[in-house]
Amino acid sequence: MPPVADARYAARTARMRPSAVRDILRVSSDPRVISLAGGLPAGELFPVEEYRAAFDAVMAEQGAASLQYGVSEGYAPLREALADRLARLGVDGPPARLLITNGAQQALDLLGKVFLDPGDVIAIEQPTYLGAIQAFDQYEVRYLVVPTDDDGMDVEALDAALRARTETGAPLPKFIYVLPNFQNPSGRTLALARRRRLVEVAARHGVPIVEDDPYGELRYDGDHLPTLHSLDRHQLVIYVGTFSKILAPGLRLGWLAAPTDELFRTLVLAKQPSDLHTAIAPQMAVERLLGDGLLERHVPLVRACYRERRDAMVGAIGEHFPSDVAHTTPHGGLFLWVTLASGVDTGELLVRALDEHVAFVPGASFHVDGSGTDSMRLNFSSEPPDVLREGIRRLATVIAAARDGRAAIAVP
Ligand SMILES: Cc1ncc(COP(=O)(O)O)c(C=O)c1O
C-alpha cells in the first residue's frame, strides 16, 4: 500500500515508499538486537576532535562568511581541494565541473530531476542501492534490469538489451546506473575487463553512465581498479562520490563530477530550487581538514578497522552457516550478500531472526521486480568483531531451523 492516499497529491507520491532499511532499523533499535541491517559507518572512528578544531578555526577565521548564503556550485576552495584529491584517485576533471551536493543521495536525486520524465527507462544492476531506487522511482521511471554475477554487471547482457531496443525502435535508457566498487548491497566489484567494455558499450549506444562510488577508497585487499570516469573518452560518465563513508555521513557532503560544462550548468539549475546550496560551514571545515591531510591519516584507520570486521564476519559465516548458503567475500565496502539455497523467503526469515535478536535486510528490498527473496544483505562496519560473530551465530541458527522446516515462521 502506498503510504499516501490524498487525491490532491501528485501521481509520483504513489511511488514514494518508506525504506525497508529504515523500518528494520526502527524494529531493531531494541538494545538486545544485534543489527546487521543498517549501513552505518563506525561512529567510534569519526574524527570528532579534528572536526571540532577545524570548525573552531573556520568560525575564528571566516566568521560571518561561514554563516552567510553561498553559491549553489559549492565552496570554491573545497571544490579545488576535492578536484586535486580526485585526480590522484583517477577522476580527472576541473573543479569547475564539480558540484558539491547534500550527500551523494542528493546527486542521485538531481540526476533524476535532470534526466528523467515519467515513463523513461534507466538501466540498473540488480540488486542495487535502495536509496537510488527511491530517488529514481519518484521520477516515475521504468527499469531495464541488467543481471549481475560475481564480476558485477553483465555488460554483454546490457549490450544485447540495448541492441534489441535499437532494432525494435524501443527507447534507450536515459542512463546506466552502476556501482563499480564493493556494491551496496552485494559487495561485488565490477571486473576491469567489464569496466572497459561498459564504457565502450555506453559509447556505442550513446547512453550516459552514472558511476556511484561511495566505497572506492575502502578497499581492504587487491589493487585499486580504474574508475569508469577515467576510462571514458566520450564524456559520458557522471561520477558521484561522498565524504559519508570516509569521514562522516552526518556532514551531508557529497559531490558529482559532470563530464560536460553544459550538464554541470543544468545540474546547478536543478539544485537551486532544491536547497539553494549545501551548508557552507561544514564545507569550510572539511576543506581545512583536506588541507591538513586528515584523510591520508584517517582513511587507512577506517580500512584497517573494517577489514578486521569483514574478516570476522566472513570467518563466522564459514564456521556457523549451513554449507548450502552462498555468500560474497567483498574486497572492500560495508556489506556482504547471502543467498539461501533452501527456498526460504528472507522477508519471513527476518521475523524469526528478530525473535532471536538479530536483524538483516531481506534481499527483495534491493530488487525492483519482486525477485531476490532468497537473499539478504549483511553489514559488517557498525559492530565490533565479537558482536558480529555472535550475530552470525544467531542468524545461522535461524537459517538452519528454517531450512530444516523445524520453524513455523509467522508471515507478518
Ligand atoms: C551506493 C550508495 N550511493 C549513495 C549513498 C548515499 O550517500 P550519502 O550519505 O553521501 O548521501 C549511499 C549510502 O549508503 C550508497 O550506499
- Quick one: how far is CA 15 from the chain centroid? 20
Confidence bin at 411 (pLDDT 50/70/90): very low
Tell me what pLDDT residue 410 has. 45
Q: How far apart are CA 357 and CA 28, in angstroms?
A: 8
Average pLDDT over residues 166-181: 98
Cell numbers given for 318: 564459514
Cell numbers given for 56: 573552531
HEC readout, 120-182: CEEEEECCCCHHHHHHHHCCCCEEEEECEECCEECHHHHHHHHHHHHHHCCCCCCCEEECCCC
- Cβ–Cβ < 8 Å for 225, 91: no
Q: How far apart are CA 205 and CA 213, in angstroms?
A: 23
- Cβ–Cβ < 8 Å for 225, 332: no
Average pLDDT over residues 65-71: 96
Average pLDDT over residues 44-56: 97
Cell numbers given for 350: 527476518
Amino acid at 282: P
Tell me what pLDDT residue 328 has. 97
Residue 412: pLDDT over 50:
no
131 within ligand 1 shell (Cβ under 6 A): yes
38 within ligand 1 shell (Cβ under 6 A): no
The rounded Å distance from CA 164 to ligand 1 centre is: 32
The rounded Å distance from CA 392 to ligand 1 centre is: 25
The rounded Å distance from CA 242 to ligand 1 centre is: 7
The closest of 157, 160, 218 to 189, measured between CA atoms, is: 218
Residue 23: pLDDT over 80:
no
Confidence bin at 31 (pLDDT 50/70/90): confident
Tell me what pLDDT residue 24 has. 75
Q: How far apart are CA 4 and CA 17, in angstroms?
A: 9
Q: What is the mean pLDDT of the chain?
A: 93
> Which ligand 1 atom sits nearest the alpha carbon of residue 254?
10
Average pLDDT over residues 221-241: 96
Tell me what pLDDT residue 129 has. 96
Cell numbers given for 128: 542495487
Residue 2: pLDDT over 60:
no
Residue 408: pLDDT over 80:
no
Among 40, 105, 245, residue to substitute to test ligand 1 (most atoms within 8 Å of Cβ): 105
The rounded Å distance from CA 106 to ligand 1 centre is: 9
Tell me what pLDDT residue 409 has. 46
212 within ligand 1 shell (Cβ under 6 A): yes
Confidence bin at 28 (pLDDT 50/70/90): low
The rounded Å distance from CA 280 to ligand 1 centre is: 21
Q: Give the dihedral of Cα atoms 77, 79, 85, 88; nearest 10 deg.
A: -120
Among 111, 182, 184, 189, residue to substitute to test ligand 1 (most atoms within 8 Å of Cβ): 184
183 within ligand 1 shell (Cβ under 6 A): no
Amino acid at 70: G
What residues contact residue 408 under an 8 Å CB cut-off, 6+ apart? none
Average pLDDT over residues 68-89: 95
User: What is the residue whose three cell numbers read 567475500?
Assistant: 329
Helix (H) or strand (E) holding 54, with range, is helix 48-62
Tell me what pLDDT residue 94 has. 84
> Which ligand 1 atom sits nearest the alpha carbon of residue 243?
10
Pairing of strands 254-257, 98-101: antiparallel
Q: What is the percent of the chain where pLDDT is above 90?
A: 86
The closest of 121, 235, 114 to 176, measured between CA atoms, is: 121
Reported as a single tens digit per residue, the pLDDT across 242-292 is: 999 999 999 999 999 999 999 999 999 999 999 999 999 999 999 999 999
